[in-house]
Amino acid sequence: MPVLQELRAGRVPVKVYTDSLEPEARQQLVNVSRLAIVHHHVAAMPDVHLGIGATAGSAPMRRRFPRLRFEYQPA
């Protein structure tokens, strides 16, 4: 599947695999691409659409972070 659009308004590129992208979804993708945890790029699949907080149908690529360990301590 070829990349049809590439947005470069954020910290990392957004690779879009569709030619129909809602303006609101586009802005959400740019916002996600500005997050510090996103490493290489954000991929927007052909079914991408506006979501609550983050765009549905997108996948931000991120580095692997070490797991945080929390231990339950009764009061």
pLDDT single digits (tens) 5-18: 999 999 999 999 99
Query: What pLDDT shows up at residue 71?
Result: 57
Q: Which of 53, 3, 61, 59 is nearest to 24 (CA)?
A: 53
pLDDT, tens only, 26-72? 999 999 999 888 888 999 999 999 988 778 888 887 766 555 555 55
Give this prediction's pTM.
0.76
Cα torsion 12, 26, 42, 17 to 10°: value is: -120
Query: What pLDDT shows up at residue 22?
Result: 93
Q: What's the angle, vertex CA 69, arms to CA 67 and CA 70, rounded to 5?
A: 145
Quote helix, strand, coil % in the chain, to nearest 5. 15, 35, 50
